[in-house]
Chains A and B, each alone.
Chain A
Amino acid sequence: MIRVVLPAHLRTLAKVDGEVKLEVQGLPTQRSVLDALEACYPMLCGTLRDHVTKQRRPFVRFFACEEDLSHESPDALLPDAVANGTEPCLGVGAIAGG
């Protein structure tokens, strides 16, 4: 079971409270977690990553285990603590602006 924490606006959009729990086949990566997230919550398609290129939106960041994973390959394995459900994967709206 993978735990995902969404930004507040996307929790509202997806009509969820608190963390989202996802079943992901195999060892989890950013791509497989986002695939599972979008399959469960199709209204989130296009909000975290581009519909077509699947690239992370510029002002969205991914964190886990106190590490910024935003620039990792989408196919890199997520930390063991995320894979075994000890730690959540966080999607965060980047702090930007003046």
Chain B
Amino acid sequence: MSKVRVLVGTRKGAFVLTSDGKRERWDISGPHFSGFELYHVKGSPADPNRLYASQCSGWFGQLIQRSNDGGETWEPVGNKFVYDGVPGTHQWYDGTPHPWEFKRVWHLEPSLTDPDTVYAGIEDAAIFRSTDGGQTWGELPGLRGHGSGPRWQPGAGGMCLHTILLDPSNPQRMYIAISAAGAFRTDDDGKTWRPINQGLKSQYIPDPNAEVGHCVHRIAMHRSRPNVLFMQKHWDVMRSDNAGELWQEVSGNLPTDFGFVIDVHAHEPDTIYVVPIKSDEHHYPLDGKLRVYRSRTGGNEWEALTKGLPQSDCYVNVLRDAMAVDSLDKCGVYFGTTGGQVYASADAGDNWTPIVRDLPGVLSVEVQTLP
């Protein structure tokens, strides 16, 4: 029978939750790296026992951990992230130039084919790559070197590169997203990049055709259809059918289209999930009701999924890297909250149950479906 491994990064350590394919009973191990912030933990699609974890602390800085046995044991690997050449400046909150400064790794994206190759999205925004299992890291400088770099500005959470999507049909193509610069695409394995933000509307940007400056919170794709992208922007849920060349809003009947996460059903490329949040000033669910919304039409038409989720007095948030799906049939959907709950649905969102309740605030959730 298949197994599921859920990798949870929290404010105070990492946790590994495992279950068989029924997804009814869960074993919990952790905290790993107790006391540290674990921004992201993710496994290699090419070798599910190879895991990477971003571990950081205000005292001791950034560490990267690697496991070769599915999280049973870990070893620290390289943590030296040095910008290529003279770092230059981006725009600070007050509009003045501010030097690029490494702060932390937000996201680790292992290669689809090589367990030793992994990408890191960092704050201040840049993308790094390791081809030796995380021992050494080098920047892909074409992204920051894009002409718009000096105009990038941090969002409230920092100027973080938080999303990295690898195109399974084209190894030369990647998508990334930065708060609050926007989305970018490379078609030459990271050498050059260009913004893909046409069609995004952000109220605080007067130019409707602004090349950069959009606060993209998350992008998702289905591996069978990599030219179709779904985006949760600061406000607005968006869709592109041409690899990001043009976006259209698909918020439809959502009660609020502010949020952080977005993900796609493992087997239905037009079934997508978001967790609407009241507003950027509140960062908790509307009316104290934690509801996942599902669209089976690729957006615009949404249904609330509430069974098993708290429908009163719930004031948690669901952060941008904290939703994932498994690839079992039926598709499992998982998300973690800032209140420390990890909720799972073993039936594509129809019914939910907390598989753990009282972790530290959840920063990230990833899922591995194992044979």
Contact with B along A29-45 (1 / 0, CB 8 A): 00000000000000101
| Cα-based distance from A93 to B59 in the complex (angstroms) | 6
A13: chain B residues at CB < 8 Å are: 60, 63, 76
A94 (CB) vs chain B CBs: closest residue: B59
Minimum CB–CB distance for A36 against chain B, Å: 19
With an 8 A cutoff between CB atoms, is A20 at the interface? no
Minimum CB–CB distance for A41 against chain B, Å: 10
Q: Is the CB of B57 within 8 A of A9?
A: yes
Minimum CB–CB distance for A8 against chain B, Å: 8
A48: chain B residues at CB < 8 Å are: 60
| Cα-based distance from A57 to B63 in the complex (angstroms) | 14
| Cα-based distance from A59 to B59 in the complex (angstroms) | 5
Q: Is the CB of A46 within 8 A of B80?
A: yes
Q: Is the CB of B60 within 8 A of A10?
A: yes
| Cα-based distance from A10 to B55 in the complex (angstroms) | 13
The listed residue (B58, B76, B79) touching A59 by CB distance below 8 A is B58
With an 8 A cutoff between CB atoms, is B62 at the interface? yes
| Cα-based distance from A9 to B61 in the complex (angstroms) | 12
B75 (CB) vs chain A CBs: closest residue: A43
The listed residue (A9, A60, A94) touching B36 by CB distance below 8 A is A9
Chain A, 37-90, CB within 8 A of any chain B CB: 43, 45-48, 51-52, 57, 59-60
The listed residue (B35, B58, B62) touching A46 by CB distance below 8 A is B62
With an 8 A cutoff between CB atoms, is B82 at the interface? yes
Q: Is the CB of A46 within 8 A of B76?
A: no
Q: Is the CB of A47 within 8 A of B36?
A: no
Minimum CB–CB distance for B364 against chain A, Å: 21
| Interface residues in B, total, Cβ within 8 A | 13
A51: chain B residues at CB < 8 Å are: 79-80, 82
Number of residue pairs across A and B with beta carbons under 8 Å? 39
Contact with A along B33-63 (1 / 0, CB 8 A): 0011000000000000000000001111111
Minimum CB–CB distance for A91 against chain B, Å: 10
Q: Is the CB of A9 within 8 A of B60?
A: yes
A59 (CB) vs chain B CBs: closest residue: B59
| Cα-based distance from A46 to B55 in the complex (angstroms) | 13
Question: Knowing A9-B35, A9-B36 touch, does A47 contact B80 (C-beta < 8 A)?
Answer: no
A93: chain B residues at CB < 8 Å are: 59-60
Minimum CB–CB distance for B84 against chain A, Å: 13
Question: Knowing A9-B35, A9-B36 touch, does A60 contact B60 (C-beta < 8 A)?
Answer: yes
B79: chain A residues at CB < 8 Å are: 45-46, 51
B80 (CB) vs chain A CBs: closest residue: A51
B60: chain A residues at CB < 8 Å are: 7, 9-10, 13, 47-48, 57, 60, 93
A57 (CB) vs chain B CBs: closest residue: B61
B81 (CB) vs chain A CBs: closest residue: A51
Question: Knowing A9-B35, A9-B36 touch, does A57 contact B80 (C-beta < 8 A)?
Answer: no
| Cα-based distance from A94 to B62 in the complex (angstroms) | 17
Question: Knowing A13-B76, A52-B82 touch, does A60 contact B63 (C-beta < 8 A)?
Answer: no
Chain B, 332-366, CB within 8 A of any chain A CB: none
Minimum CB–CB distance for A97 against chain B, Å: 9
Minimum CB–CB distance for A10 against chain B, Å: 6
| Cα-based distance from A45 to B58 in the complex (angstroms) | 15
In the A-B complex, the 3 residue pairs with the closest CB atoms: A47-B60, A43-B76, A93-B59
| Interface pairs (16), CB distance under 8 Å | A7-B59, A7-B60, A9-B36, A9-B57, A9-B59, A9-B60, A10-B60, A13-B60, A13-B63, A43-B76, A45-B79, A45-B80, A47-B63, A51-B80, A51-B82, A59-B59
Q: Residues of A at under 8 Å CB distance from B?
A: 7, 9-10, 13, 43, 45-48, 51-52, 57, 59-60, 93-94, 96
Known A10-B60, A46-B63, A51-B79; further 5 A-B contacts with Cβ < 8 A: A13-B76, A46-B61, A51-B80, A52-B82, A59-B58
